[in-house]
């Protein structure tokens, strides 16, 4: 599936146009918003710059459509080429439509991304029901994806390698209002991956030989996450605690607790801090060093055993805080800064995100 970046835009706009054209007749006025953002990520060998554009539109009285576009500008050390830097761009477009019928919502999504050696198409549906006076929310989702990729960036003299990967994902979630200020939720996700899952550029030097990375062609992943949110009216503070457990049939087990504190500092401005801890075991075939070639062999650091600590802070405010009125007064700005301490070969990392969200009426 060789689509250009221009085709990515067409996919997102076509899905959005379909929702607008076939949704219920629009009301006299409707609301939406446009969000302009950029993200930055830097670790030892990789830097990513990511400008993004997101849009949300009301469709009639019961529908909502969204669209998004982003570009990843990646600079990283080449695999097996003496640490030479290479640059690559990935373009992604997507759209969703959600329709509300009384206490129920049904929606669909499509997402397509392209880069010189990788094409990915993803789609799915999502259902939601609010029961018992809207105190209990049940969600279910199903998604499928297909990826095509090759190692064409390795140069004309490298042996050509190609791969495909199919993904199926299912999710179910429950959220219960425990008190006027307390909400608890739990989510279970399961995904099945079939196809080439190794990096076609990556190889391992072992016993004096260069061996291509080789992973199992099938992977079954499970994840369970629970969250509790508590609002403290007196201090206008929201506390959040989350724990996520992950296990797959490559024998990776991960534990990820996280805590957040969100503080209203007046005039609709919010300040938040976050701490996340992650610890995982290694895949059963992953080794730091291989004494000889193996049927399954990997240099993927994400399959190693490691721990990481993420600390972050964010600040959000509306334009009226600094004197703007009208649309500019309702515009929201946000800045997020995070630092990741991790004991693997990726090294420590820093991430930053800045966004501006503008409300629109049409």
pLDDT band at 208 (very low <50, low <70, confident <90, very high): confident
pLDDT band at 29 (very low <50, low <70, confident <90, very high): low
Is the pLDDT at 127 greater than 90? The verdict is yes
Tell me the per-residue pLDDT of 240-288, one tens digit each, with 9 for 90 and over: 999 999 999 999 999 999 999 999 998 889 999 999 999 999 999 999 9
Chain CA centroid to CA 150, Å: 23
Chain CA centroid to CA 89, Å: 17
Tell me the per-residue pLDDT of 34-73, one tens digit each, with 9 for 90 and over: 999 999 999 988 899 999 999 999 998 899 999 999 999 9
DSSP helix/strand/coil, 17: helix
Cα separation, 125 vs 142, whole angstroms: 6
- Beta carbons within 8 Å of 348's beta carbon, 6+ residues apart: 43, 44, 339, 340, 341, 342
Q: What is the mean pLDDT of residues 105-111?
A: 98
Cα separation, 173 vs 137, whole angstroms: 8
For the chain, the domain total comes to 1
Specify the DSSP class assigned to residue 9: H
pLDDT of residue 9: 45
Ramachandran region of residue 136, left (φ > 0), alpha (ψ -120 to 50) or beta? beta
Q: What is the mean pLDDT of residues 113-120?
A: 95
pLDDT of residue 14: 47
Tell me the per-residue pLDDT of 2-24, one tens digit each, with 9 for 90 and over: 444 444 444 444 444 444 444 44
Output the domain CATH number for residue 264.
2.40.160.40
How far, in Å, are 28, 64, 76 from residue 48 at the CA level?
Answer: 42, 31, 9
Which residue range(s) make up the domain with 33? 5-361
pLDDT band at 80 (very low <50, low <70, confident <90, very high): very low
pLDDT of residue 84: 59
DSSP helix/strand/coil, 199: coil
Is the pLDDT at 155 greater than 80? The verdict is no
Cα separation, 51 vs 73, whole angstroms: 9
Q: What is the mean pLDDT of residues 96-112?
A: 97
pTM: 0.87
What average pLDDT does the chain have?
90
Cα separation, 230 vs 223, whole angstroms: 23
Is the pLDDT at 173 greater than 50? The verdict is yes
**Token digits for 258?**
């996280």
- Beta carbons within 8 Å of 351's beta carbon, 6+ residues apart: 39, 40, 41, 42, 312, 336, 337, 338, 339, 340
pLDDT of residue 82: 44
Question: Per-residue b/e over 335-358, b at no fewer than 16 CB within 10 Å?
Answer: ebebebebeeebeebebebebebe
Tell me the per-residue pLDDT of 302-322, one tens digit each, with 9 for 90 and over: 999 999 999 999 999 999 999
């Amino acid at each position: 599936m060789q689509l250009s970046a221009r085709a990515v835009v067409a996919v997102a706009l076509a899905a959005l146009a379909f929702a607008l054209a076939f949704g219920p007749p629009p009301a006299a006025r409707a609301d939406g918003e446009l969000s302009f953002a950029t993200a930055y990520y830097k670790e030892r060998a990789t830097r990513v710059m990511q400008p993004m554009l997101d849009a949300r539109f009301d469709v009639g009285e019961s529908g909502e459509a969204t669209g998004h576009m982003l570009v990843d500008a990646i600079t990283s050390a080449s695999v097996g080429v003496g640490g030479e830097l290479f640059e690559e761009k990935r373009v992604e477009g997507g759209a969703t439509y959600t329709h509300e019928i009384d206490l129920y919502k049904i929606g669909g999504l499509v997402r397509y991304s392209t880069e010189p050696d990788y094409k990915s198409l993803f789609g799915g549906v999502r259902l939601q029901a609010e029961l018992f006076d809207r105190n209990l929310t049940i969600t279910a989702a199903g998604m499928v994806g297909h990826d095509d990729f090759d190692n064409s960036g390795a140069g004309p003299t490298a042996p050509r390698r190609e791969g495909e990967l199919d993904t199926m994902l299912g999710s179910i979630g429950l959220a219960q209002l425990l008190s006027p200020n307390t909400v608890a939720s739990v989510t279970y996700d399961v995904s099945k991956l079939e196809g080439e899952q190794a990096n076609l550029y990556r190889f391992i030097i072992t016993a004096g030989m260069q061996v291509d990375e080789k992973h199992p062609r099938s992977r079954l992943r499970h994840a369970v996450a629970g969250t509790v949110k508590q609002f403290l009216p007196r201090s206008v503070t929201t506390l959040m605690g989350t724990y996520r457990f992950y296990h797959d049939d490559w024998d990776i087990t991960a534990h990820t607790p996280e805590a957040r504190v969100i503080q209203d500092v007046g005039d609709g401005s919010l300040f938040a801090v976050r701490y996340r801890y992650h610890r995982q075991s290694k895949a059963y075939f992953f080794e730091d060093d291989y004494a000889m070639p193996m049927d399954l062999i990997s240099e993927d650091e994400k399959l190693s055993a490691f721990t990481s600590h993420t600390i972050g802070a964010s600040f959000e405010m509306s334009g009226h805080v600094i004197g703007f009125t009208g649309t500019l007064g309702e515009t929201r700005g946000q800045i997020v800064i995070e630092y990741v301490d991790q004991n693997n070969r990726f090294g420590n990392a820093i991430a930053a995100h800045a966004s501006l969200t503008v409300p629109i009426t049409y």
